[in-house]
Amino acid sequence: MTVWRATWLILVVFLVVALLPLSSSVAQPRSTLNLVSMSDRFSGALTRLAPEFERETGIKVNVTIQSYGELYSRAIADFVGRTGGADLYTVDIVWTGEWGENGYLVDLTPMIQRDRAAIAYDDIFPAVWKLGGWQGKQYAFPLAAYAGVLAYNKKVLTDMGIKPPRSVPEFATAIQKLTGDGRYGIVMNGARGAPCAQDWMYHMLIHGGSILDKDGMPALNTPANVRALTFFADMFKYAPPGATSYAWGDRELAFRSGVAMMQIAWSTGVRAHRDPAMSRVATISDITTLPQAAGAPTRYPLGGWSIGINRDSPNKPAAWEFIKWITSQRVRREFVRLGGEPIRRSEVSDPTLLAEFPWFAMVGKSFENADGDFRPRIRQYPRIQDILGLEVNLVITGQKSPKAALDAAQAAAMPLFGR
């Protein structure tokens, strides 16, 4: 070996060693998947079933559970930094547009079409595909779907001769009749921000309103939305004292303690309603689909979570295998029993599951006419929610009229769309 050649080899080795720290920051294929999930009932099911997936496939899944805000912040930092820090993320339905438009997640559409029979595609409610779907592509796979339902104290309604309301006028009459003797006919979130904005959107939907018009532009101050906010404010007078500062936990507690007779809420909360350790109405509560305003199309709220693959994951094939496994008909029964929520028709008609979760039949009925866009899945949604969260609170606290509040919300929302 010449002196020149020896010198050249030494230089190459030096450069490789020098560059090792840089290469270590690039995501490398690994036999372990990292999944970051929202802290919700279904996350416990993910944690408990992950070892079973490892036994069957040899692929380990580390499940990290974080709060809503922590999950979103961690995911965005991972996506923008292109670090491939996690292979899989659970995705809130309202994040779908932002994450899909920005290409943060792998488009699963080709894999879903290829494996359509294996995943029993048609067994999943059509509306439920909104979880993770965006503009004709499926960026995440439905994992846990929530129906917006009317929860009610069945015993008190029966004792008073009141049937579960099917129309908005019946709803108003029931709320008023049920209020008295220490009872409150309804409980709704009133806290400024997301709590009251989201609760008002339930009422917007049953009144035939919407956040966006047919062209995808803000339509917050339409007559239907004004009627919905007027109704919301009128019925708020029959809510427990202090409800103007209630968020989700307060609302649930008012219902489960037997103080409030009705609430509109996600179906995922029914397990707590039926749990004697958490609820005084465990054996006397029930749910039904939401009442509808005359002439309004029958649409029920849909929310929930999907699971998607980070575009920078070095383990995309293994991640897809896990998605197929955890959402398969074979595994779903146990997933649901452990805390997951149904996505499939076979789950809401399964005799074994219905024996344990009899309200699934009503959830399935809601899914058949579900609207996953009543909270628009667009990147501007969080800001619109903030705007409405302020204006709705001003109405229920008597500081603005419904029309003035929604006019102000419309004016504040238009610049978000470049107008």
Per-residue pLDDT tens for 340-357?
999 999 999 999 999 999
Q: What are the helix (H) ranges across 82-218?
A: 96-101, 109-114, 154-159, 168-178, 194-206
Residue 25 banded pLDDT, cuts 50, 70, 90 = very low
Distances (CA, A) of 311 to 65, 75, 114, 223, 234: 20, 12, 19, 43, 47
Residue 419: band (very low, low, confident or very high) from pLDDT cuts 50, 70, 90: confident
Residue 194 pLDDT exceeds 90: yes
| pLDDT the model gives residue 179 | 98
* Residue of 410, 404, 409, 417 lying closest to 390 (CA atoms): 409
Per-residue DSSP letter, 269: G
**Mean pLDDT, to the nearest integer, of 191-217?**
97
Residue with tokens 């439920």: 128
Q: Residue 407 pLDDT more than 70?
A: yes
Rounded mean pLDDT, 394-404:
98
Whether the pLDDT of residue 234 is over 70: the answer is: yes
CB 255 within 8 A of CB 281: yes
Average pLDDT over residues 244-250: 97
Instruction: Return the minimum-mean-pLDDT range out of 12-21, 51-60, 133-142.
Output: 12-21
Instruction: Specify the pLDDT at position 4.
Output: 43
pLDDT surpasses 80 at 17: no
Spatial CB neighbours of 175, under 8 Å, sequence gap ≥ 6: 185, 186, 235, 238, 262
281-318 residue pLDDT tens: 999 999 999 999 999 999 999 999 999 999 999 999 99
In this predicted structure, the answer to whether residue 257 has a pLDDT above a threshold of 80 is yes
Taking residues 233-253, what's their average pLDDT? 97
As a whole-number percent, the residues of the chain with pLDDT over 90 amount to 92
Average pLDDT estimate for 39-68: 96
> Pick from 126, 238, 119: which is nearest to 172 by CA?
238
Residue 237: exposure state from Cβ atoms within 10 A (0-12, 13-18, ≥19): middle
Whether residue 229 contacts residue 197, with contact meaning beta carbons closer than 8 Å, is answered with no
Helices (H), 41-148: 41-57, 68-81, 96-101, 109-114
pLDDT band of residue 31 (cuts 50, 70, 90) is: confident
pLDDT at 5 over 50: no
Question: Which percentage of the chain shows pLDDT scores above 70?
Answer: 93
Predicted TM-score (pTM) of the model is: 0.89
* Helix, strand or coil, per DSSP, at residue 74: helix
pLDDT of residue 24: 37
pLDDT category, 30, cuts 50, 70, 90?
Answer: low
Of 25-39, 47-61, 296-310, 352-366, least confident by mean pLDDT is 25-39
The pLDDT of 105-109, averaged and rounded, is 98
| Residue 9 scores a pLDDT above 90 | no
- Would the pLDDT of 375 be above 90? yes
**Residue (of 114, 61, 102, 46) closest to 306 by Cα position:** 46
